[in-house]
Amino acid sequence: MRLTTALFAAIMTFGTAAVAADVSGKLVLYTSQPNADAQRTVDAFKAKHPDVDVEWIRDGTTKVMAKLRAEFEAGAPQPDVLLIADMVTMEGLEKEGRLMAYPDADISAYDPALMDPEGHYFSTKLITTGIVYNTNAPMVPKSYKDLLSEEAKDKLAMPSPLTSGAATIHMAAITSNPDLGWEFYEGLASQGANPQGGNGGTYKAIAGGEKLYGFVVDFLPIREMAKGAPVAFVFPEEGVSAVTEPVAILSTAQNPDAAKAFVDFLISAEGQQLAADMGYLPAHPEITPPEGFPSLSEIKLLDFDPANALANDRDNKMKFTEIFGG
């Protein structure tokens, strides 16, 4: 659905009014966004709140969390706000009492499944994992089960949940689906799949023709197919999993007002348009997705319970290792 100009402006005006107009001081952000995206996000926020001095540190979620854990141990956590890959990590922090609730954040437009019911974290986009295939492949998959066919045998690539957060979420969503379950991963192993590394390596293997089918985050093939790469992305009929890049305020935040303003900006129509402009599927259902993406209403998400995924994370990874080997 496309927003009319008037409606879009009205939503943005409301979002602007919803935050304190006079926020100022230093805001410390820890993020796993790519550097260019993090800079654009900070620049856009500062354009609305020029009196806030944003200090940001960027690394992968695993490394960001290792740094933050060390700061917790030292009794001196530095960030006011976190913008990292997945809800499972946020669930862990929430369980430990590390996150500040912000129940006044306006999430009325969003699917409640994307937000913490107590307002401890807020999804800012959808980075889905589905099927990627090389367009020279003999089969066009529509279902995950198509990857268990003879045409896909020994032609599969996939990132490892021992390395990739998105692959971890995908594993939890797939294995909790009653029509797929762990039997699906056992089938992939029988097909010769050898999960390793992250999404980038999987994409390169399929785009280069070394393998023909696999799982990958949506934006890699969707962006590159527009440039002529021999790949296509499939939103399987069973649904896709999603990393939602949630934002949260730490309970130890030194500048909670600026942190709330940052959250408000990211989930406002303007912040969601920024996500779309950067080539990601916005979480807000009324923002037009980037070229190559279907509308949010056309995408089926696999059921996913982040609290359950957190509780079962260790067992899931042990089971995965049993199937595919360390």
Q: Which domains does the chain have, with CATH numbers?
A: 5-124+245-290 (3.40.190.10), 126-242+303-324 (3.40.190.10)
In this prediction, residue 326 carries a pLDDT of 61
Low-confidence ranges of the chain (pLDDT < 50): 1-20
Contacts from 306-312 at CB under 8 Å and sequence distance 24+? Answer: 306/86, 306/87, 306/88, 306/90, 306/91, 307/91, 308/172, 308/176, 309/88, 309/91, 309/168, 309/169, 309/172, 310/88, 310/91, 310/92, 310/95, 312/172
In this prediction, residue 115 carries a pLDDT of 96
In this prediction, residue 61 carries a pLDDT of 87
In this prediction, residue 325 carries a pLDDT of 84
In this prediction, residue 109 carries a pLDDT of 96
- Where residue 178 falls (left for φ over 0; alpha for ψ -120 to 50; beta otherwise) is alpha
User: Residue 108 and residue 301: Cα distance in Å, rounded?
Assistant: 19
Closest CA to 195 of 237, 234, 164: 164
Q: What is the C-alpha radius of gyration for the chain, rounded to an integer number of angstroms?
A: 20
In this prediction, residue 13 carries a pLDDT of 43
State both tokens at 177: 């689906």
245: Cβ–Cβ under 8 A, 6 or more apart, which residues? 32, 33, 83, 84, 85, 86, 123, 124, 125, 127
Q: Residue for token digits 């922090």?
A: 93
State both tokens at 17: 């009014």
